[in-house]
């Protein structure tokens, strides 16, 4: 009788006297991707920038740009990411990217960055960098990436901003015009 009462108390405190449940694969995390027949507006579609920067959409969710800025050095890093902003997308040829900033008025030329660890080369990279002395100490900037070729497709005049990217701005400032 005492062991039955003890088992009941332990069951209430610990969730049961039986063996723990078998571990299986974790259930997949739900995504905000619409199912067939549903609309995209059913749930907000938000991406988390993997490097902690500001995101900008390329095409219709075809890819993303992530802008990371270090104000103390005036260093801009730009990462090319997939449509979910989770995986790097490499260029297919060597490119120099050009940011035409409007606030402040300035042109910044970003060079490809090779990474021996990931296997990225100057010809096939997802990472571009520039250090611009005139950007040291800036808290924010806006402008456009002149052009970039991704997966064989040329994209032009892509809006960028920092610290909040155009994509985040749309999520938080509904109804405002961002052009």
- Of the listed ranges 28-42, 108-122, 129-143, 160-174, the least confidently predicted one is 28-42
Write the burial class of residue 129 (CB in 10 Å: 0-12 exposed, 13-18 middle, 19+ buried).
Answer: middle
In a domain, 137, yes or no: yes
In a domain, 135, yes or no: yes
CATH number of the domain at 75, please.
2.60.40
Average pLDDT of the residues in 2-15: 42
In a domain, 27, yes or no: no
In a domain, 21, yes or no: no
In a domain, 83, yes or no: yes
pTM over 0.85: no
In a domain, 59, yes or no: yes
Beta-ladder partners of 89: none
The domain total for the chain is 1
Query: Per residue in 9-65, pLDDT tens?
Result: 434 334 444 443 333 333 333 333 333 343 334 445 577 888 999 999 999 889 999
- The boundaries of the domain holding residue 70 are 49-172
In a domain, 16, yes or no: no
E strands in 116-179: 127-131, 141-150, 153-162
In a domain, 178, yes or no: no
């Amino acid at each position: 009788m005492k062991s039955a009462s003890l088992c009941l108390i332990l069951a209430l405190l610990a969730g049961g006297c039986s063996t723990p449940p078998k571990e299986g694969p974790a259930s997949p995390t739900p995504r905000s991707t619409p199912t067939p027949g549903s609309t995209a507006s059913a749930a907000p579609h938000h991406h988390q920038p993997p490097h902690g920067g500001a995101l900008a959409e390329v095409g219709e969710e075809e890819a993303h740009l992530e802008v990371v800025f270090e104000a103390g050095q005036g260093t801009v890093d730009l990462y090319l990411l997939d449509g979910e902003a989770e995986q790097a997308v490499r260029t297919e040829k060597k490119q120099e990217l050009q940011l035409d900033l409007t606030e402040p008025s300035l042109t910044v030329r970003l060079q490809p960055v090779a990474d021996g660890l990931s296997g990225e080369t100057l010809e096939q990279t997802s990472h571009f960098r520039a250090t611009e002395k005139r950007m040291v100490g800036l808290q924010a900037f806006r402008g456009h990436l002149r052009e970039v070729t991704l997966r064989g497709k040329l994209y032009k005049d892509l809006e960028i901003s920092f610290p909040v990217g155009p994509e985040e701005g749309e999520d938080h400032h509904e109804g405002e015009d961002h052009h």
